[in-house]
Amino acid sequence: MAANTRPGKLGILAGSGDLPGLLISACQATNRAVFVVAFKGFANEDKLGDVSHAWTDLAAVGKTLSYLHKAECEQVVLAGPVGRPSLASLRPDLRGARLLPRVIKAGGDDAALKVIIAELETEGFEVLGADDILSDLLAPPGAMGIMLPDREQTVDIDRGIGAAMALGRADVGQAVVVQQGVVLGVEAAEGTDALIARCGALRMEGRGGVLVKLKKPGQERRADLPTIGTATIAAVADAGLAGLAIEAGGTLVLGLEKMAVEADERGVFVYGIPSHRLT
C-alpha cells in the first residue's frame, strides 16, 4: 500500500471501522512514529496492534490533548466515525465542558468537526486528512468492477447528485437513495447503513435503485470524508439496490480490490463520479 510520508510524529484519534488500522499499518511500513488516542465505545482494540496508545472518553478533550502532547505528536489525523452520542452519555472533562457548547451550537456534523479541528490547531497540531497519508484510498473515476450503471441508473445517479448536494449544503448527510427518479430516502443521523436498509424496504418493483454518496459542498476534507468498503457493498446488495455511485477523488475506498470482487460477485456496480459531473 502506498503511503505519503511526512515529517513529525503522527497522533491518530481513532473511532470505529478499519481506517485507524490502515493508518497504523502505513506508519509502520514507513517507520513513522505514531501514537493512538482510542475513543471508548467506538475504537476497536483489534485494529490498534502493538502501537503505543491510550483510551479516553470522547468528551474528555483535555485528556486527549494531554496524551497527544505527552507523546510529542506534531500532526494529528481523525480516523473512523464516532457518531453523535446523547448528551446524557457524555462525560466531559473541564476542557470538554468548555468546548461542548460550541460543538452543539455548530449544528451539523461538518460544522462541529471544524470546531474540533480548530481546537487542535490552537494547541499547535497540524491536522491532516486520512488521504494525506493514504492517497491510494481515494476512489478513482469510473467503474470499480465489471458492472456499469445502465441508462436508467445513470439518470438516477444524476438525480441523486442534485439531492445529495442539497442535503450536504444543509450539513445534514452525505447519501441518498434514488430509484426510477424517485428519492426513496436521505441520510440523517441514522447513518448510511440504516439508510440503505430503510430504502430496501421502500424499493419499488422493477430494477434496483442507486445509493449516491458525496462529500458535502465546502466540507472540511480532513474529517469525515465519505467512506465505503465491502460492508457497504453487502448492505447495498442485501437491500436489492442495483449499485452505488461515489465521488471520485472525494471518497475513501477501504480495500478497493476486495470491494470490487465483492461487488462483482453480488452483481452490483460501484461507480466513481468524475468531478465534471458535480459542477
Which residue has cell 471501522?
Answer: 17
pLDDT, position 85: 65
d(CA 60, CA 251): 29
Which position has the higher pLDDT, 108 or 138?
Answer: 138
> Given a cut of 60, is residue 4 above it in pLDDT?
no
Domain boundaries, the chain: 10-133, 138-278
Give me the amino acid identity at 244: L
Segment 103-123 mean pLDDT:
85
pLDDT, position 104: 80
| CATH code, 138-278 | 3.40.140.80
Give me the amino acid identity at 36: V
> Given a cut of 60, is residue 186 above it in pLDDT?
yes
Report residue 88's pLDDT band, with 50, 70 and 90 as the boundaries.
low
pLDDT, position 2: 46
User: For 145-185, how does the pLDDT look when each residue is reduced to its tens digit (9 = 90+)?
Assistant: 999 999 999 999 999 999 999 999 988 889 999 999 999 99
pLDDT, position 190: 81
Q: Mean pLDDT score of the chain, rounded to an integer?
A: 90
> Given a cut of 90, is residue 101 above it in pLDDT?
no
* Helices 256-266, 230-238: crossing angle, 10 deg rounding: 20
User: For 229-253, how does the pLDDT look when each residue is reduced to its tens digit (9 = 90+)?
Assistant: 999 999 999 999 999 999 999 999 9
Share of the chain above pLDDT 70, in %: 95
d(CA 217, CA 232): 22
CATH number among 2.40.50.100, 3.40.50.300, 3.40.50.20, 3.90.1150.10, domain 10-133 = 3.40.50.20
User: For 192-221, how does the pLDDT look when each residue is reduced to its tens digit (9 = 90+)?
Assistant: 999 999 999 999 987 789 999 999 998 888
Handedness of CA 248, 250, 253, 259 (dihedral sign): negative
Segment 66-91 mean pLDDT:
86
Which residue has cell 436498509?
Answer: 197
User: How many CB atoms are closer than 10 A to CB 162?
Assistant: 13
User: For 33-52, how does the pLDDT look when each residue is reduced to its tens digit (9 = 90+)?
Assistant: 999 999 998 999 998 988 99
Residues 6 or more apart whose CB falls under 8 angstroms from that of 195 comprise 173, 175, 177, 185, 186, 187, 211
pLDDT, position 251: 95
Which residue has cell 450536504?
Answer: 168
Beta bridge partners of 271: 143, 245
> Given a cut of 60, is residue 108 above it in pLDDT?
yes
pLDDT, position 91: 84
pLDDT, position 86: 65
